[in-house]
Structure 1
Amino acid sequence: MTARVFIDGEAGTTGLQIRARLEARDDVSLIRLAEAERKDTAARARALNDADLAILCLPDAAARQAVGLIENPEVRVIDASTAHRTDPDWTYGFPEMDKAQQAAVAASKRVSNPGCYPTGAIALIRPLVSAGLLPADFPVTVNAVSGYSGGGKGLIRRYEDAQTPDHLDKAYRAYALGLAHKHLPEMQQHGLLDHTPLFVPAVGNYYKGMLVQVPLQLWALPGRPAADDLRDLLARHYAGQDFVSVAPAAESAELDDLDPEGLNGTNAMRLYVFGNAAGDQAVLAAVLDNLGKGASGAAVQNLNLMLGLDPQAGLDTRLAA
């Protein structure tokens, strides 16, 4: 039986990407509203309640309102907003997070899609904290850069409109300098950290692709683990996963740089560990498509699990192995 899927907010950046990944498939059918009905509460309520699974690509307040419109107890929901990412009644939609998470997502009726930056940060941090190599109370720093599509339609317009001051003007800029980015609560909670990490995001003058980095002073960690110890632990944690993989030491050693656009168009995420010659410093890094594994690809991956479909359906795993 074909599953009925409604994307509430399909005209936004994430919604359009999800639709593109689903509309050619024969194992799901999309419930579509005419443009005039997309902001009609009654029309949206009917679509939400007629769906087997609803994906919310909405601002936080609108996502909460949409959940309140659902009366059919059989409807499953994936929320791509920030609204429910730390809510204990919702399952965090990062299936590779730990060994039990994929089954938890598959069994859940309420899944919160992770943020793009937290996907990379949590992938690097959580396994190390779980294993005791990185203390939960360690002062963690996360540095990251994303393509401007991560800022949604408003930022895309600013970068792509030749009449605006941002058009092909600034190659790179840091932002959220008040150190209160909306992704911090989920980074801390799902990264198993006692304290809020110091997070410095940036946007580059390119459309999509993301690089997340976690620098570590190895001499400050209990037992002074080597970079190889961190890499080996991450490799064991993600062994056998379809979409998350860890670069071996030889691959990392050959790299002179990392391209944040290297996995664009895929649902893959590649993790790296770099260490200095003295063995007292390391940088953990994650490369992913902020619109793929960082948003719409992750939503489709969660949809596949929740509906009991092929986990790779509609998704590109290129370069994940």
Structure 2
Amino acid sequence: MTQKPVIFIDGEAGTTGLEIRERLSALPVTLFSIDPARRKDPAARKDAMAAADLVVLCLPDAASREAVQMAATLGDAAPRLLDASTAFRTDAAWVYGFPELAEGQDRAIATALRVSNPGCYPTGAIALLRPLVDKGVLDARYPICINAISGYSGGGRSMIEAHESAGGPAFELYGLSLEHKHVPEIHQHAGLGRRPVFVPSVGHFARGMIVSIPLHLDDLQGHITGSDLHNILQEHYAGQEHVRVMPHEPTLSAEALAGSDKMELRVHAGTHCRQALLTARLDNLGKGASGAALQNISLMLGLNNA
């Protein structure tokens, strides 16, 4: 009988860590946990890393970097790493964990020693933009503006508690310094040659997300129509299980995919105005976080449902 691979989640008490831990019950793996009282004990964490085939890091950026350094001290016994923070998403030494990004990305993840799990907002934005850039219809220097709304669960424990105890605002813009930590990730992995403007917001609902990107069709390469954009996306994601290209809908609810690991992409185009709106709808804790992590874990460990 083949021994089940061992996984240690460093930071399993956080929002993403708890979600991943719960979802791992569906995979043929063994979860290695340490005494809750010793979760911050370096010796206990190092022992857990040594016992694991794969370590999933669900930590703040600085703590994640320290954990990577700790794992490296194990030498040949060092485990493979999947990092859920933003610390390594633009690091060339790490494989970006978006299997649908481009041809061969899933194979690169499957063989990588270190994989960075994508951010929730970048997952939607990159999914929409990268195929158009690769196809040559969207110039990499196009002035991209990305608007997005997420459920409050993406804000971590303090925001969750604020919304669930006091109600929270119905809608709130944030990141108005235009220096949101997801911008470099989108910039790099969407293949953009110009920094995008990114405007995130949060609504008074727990889970769900819509990322939207407006385009002027006359500024694209060739006499492109909304149907052309739809077809390019459909061709890119043909046969993919987790990403679906859907027909236009007159309205979209951000909560529709809550609890799902799927992502829906759409092109909404005006009949006469030569404008289009690209939208990605996903669960910020599903395909935008723990669902993506499970997809990457399955690929990295060669499990049947990868």
Shift of 1:221: 1.6
- What's the counterpart of residue 65 of structure 2? 64
- Are 2:247 and 1:245 aligned? no
Q: CA deviation at 1:311?
A: 3.2
C-alpha deviation, 1:237, in angstroms:
0.1
| 2:224 paired residue number | 225
* Residue ranges of structure 2 left out of the alignment (5+ in a row): none
1:119 alignment partner, SS class: helix
- Aligned residue for 2:107? 103
1:296 matched to 2:305? The reply is no
SS state at 1:239 partner: coil
3-state SS of the aligned residue for 2:129? helix
Within 2, Cα distance between the matches of 1:227 and 1:12? 41
- Counterpart of 1:309, as a letter, is L
Give the structure 2 partner of residue 36 of structure 1: 37
State the 4+ residue runs in structure 1 displaced beyond 2 angstroms.
Answer: none
Deviation track 1:11-44 (CA, whole Å, cap 9, x = no partner) reads 000000000101354x101001111110101101
**1:142 and 2:146 are equivalent in the alignment:** yes
Write out per-residue CA displacement over residues 208-261 of structure 1, whole angstroms, 9 at most, x where no aligned residue. 10000010011122213100000000000000001001013xxx1xx2211111
Q: RMSD of the TM alignment (CA)?
A: 1.1
Q: State how far apart, in whole Å, the 2-side matches of 1:245 and 1:72 are.
A: 41
Unaligned 5+ segments in structure 1 are: 162-166, 313-321
Aligned equivalents of 2:221 and 2:301: distance in 1? Answer: 43
1:24/1:232 Cα in 2 relative to 1: closer, same or farther (>3 Å)?
closer
Which residue in the other structure is 2:83 paired with? 79
In 2, are the aligned partners of 1:227 and 1:279 still within 8 Å (CA)?
no
What is residue 195 of structure 1 aligned with on the other side? 194
**Which residue is 2:274 aligned to?**
280
Aligned sequence identity (%): 52
CA distance in 2, matches of 1:169, 1:108: 41
Counterparts of 1:205-220 in structure 2, within 5 Å, are 205-220=204-219
Residue 53 (structure 2) pairs with residue 52 (structure 1): yes
Q: Distance in 2 between matches of 1:211 and 1:97?
A: 19
User: Secondary structure in 2 aligned to 1:245?
Assistant: strand
Distance 1:72 1:93 in 2: 24
Matched AA of 2:222: G
Give the TM-score normalised by structure 2: 0.96
